Amino acid sequence: MFGLLKKKKQLASSAIDYNNLPEHIGIIMDGNGRWAKKRGLPRSAGHSMGARVLEQITRAAGNIGIKYLTVYAFSTENWSRPDDEVKALMKLIGEYLDDYRRIIGDEDMRVRFIGSKNGLTDDIIRKMHVVEEATKDNKSITLNIALNYGGRDEIVNAVRSVAQKVSDGELNVSDISEKLLSEHMYTHYMPDPDFIIRPSGEQRLSNFLLWQSAYSEFWYSNINWPDFTRADLERAIVDYQSRNRRFGGV
Ligand code: FPP
């Protein structure tokens, strides 16, 4: 009897409160390499499975009612990985972009990219543009793919752009504010992430959304990204809903 009551409570406590959803979730899709290694597969197999999980989780997030999902696909530091892994990742991302119609399906999903274009091939840049254009009027969920993204790199670019405007006489030094800098970040069109999820057991930000995560809540878990499911996403959201966000107040 007690066991049954306990079970009921667990089920009840795992229900999402749809009136208190995080508007913007960031995900560091980590653990692909370890997932593959455990199975005796090449690291690229982990990334391929990770791309499939990304499709499922994007769909689930849209379905739950999340408005913005930002995923870390390739960082400015990931170029230092072995050449064959970088090539495999770029190939996978290219294939994902080619396949965007199937991936989006009936979803009202907008896809955008944040990050630097430096170092990306013309072919990838063209595909990114095609997908952004084709989905620009979709409204339910925005999937932001952080590709060749680094938080420090983003801040440096924003500062450069503001400094150029000051130098050109378009702005005064006294115009520089948090709001103005936010408007010069790649993420200028969306709210800061309420919630950042990092699977695979690592507990660090790894240069992801540095400026924007000032007041983000974090959720870590030992699950590797290729094993991450909708149930894990729901569990994470329920945990988020138990937090008391104070933004520096009391
Ligand atoms: C980190 O895991 C993951 C990456 C650097 C790549 C993430 C990319 C994908 C999930 C798929 C491709 C993306 C798109 C948009 C199609 P890791 O390789 O560092 O794992 P490890 O820490 O276990 O070695």
Q: List, for residues 177-230, the tens digit of each pLDDT value.
A: 999 999 999 999 999 999 999 999 999 999 999 999 999 999 999 999 999 999
Q: Is residue 150 part of a domain?
A: yes
Average pLDDT, the chain: 94
Residue 245's pLDDT is: 85
Q: Is residue 234 part of a domain?
A: yes
Q: Is 224 a catalytic residue?
A: no
Question: Could you tell me which residues are beta bridge partners of residue 198?
Answer: 220
Q: Give 151 Cα–ligand 1 centroid separation in angstroms.
A: 17
Percent of the chain with pLDDT over 90: 89
Q: Is residue 39 part of a domain?
A: yes
Q: Is 78 a catalytic residue?
A: yes
Task: Look at ligand 1, atom 1, and give the residue with the nearest C-alpha.
Answer: 30
Q: Is residue 2 part of a domain?
A: no
Domain span at 55? 20-156+192-239
Q: What are phi and psi of 88, to 5 degrees?
A: -65, -40
Q: Is residue 178 part of a domain?
A: no
CA distance 111 to 104: 9
Q: Is residue 184 part of a domain?
A: no
Give the chain's domain count.
1
CA distance 44 to 63: 29
Q: Is residue 222 part of a domain?
A: yes
Q: Is residue 163 part of a domain?
A: no
Instruction: Kindly write down the DSSP assignment for every residue of 134-155, as one continuous string.
Output: HHTT--SEEEEEEEEE-HHHHH
List the CATH number of the domain containing 100.
3.40.1180.10
Cβ contacts of 168 within 8 Å, gap of 6 or more: none
Residue 4's pLDDT is: 43
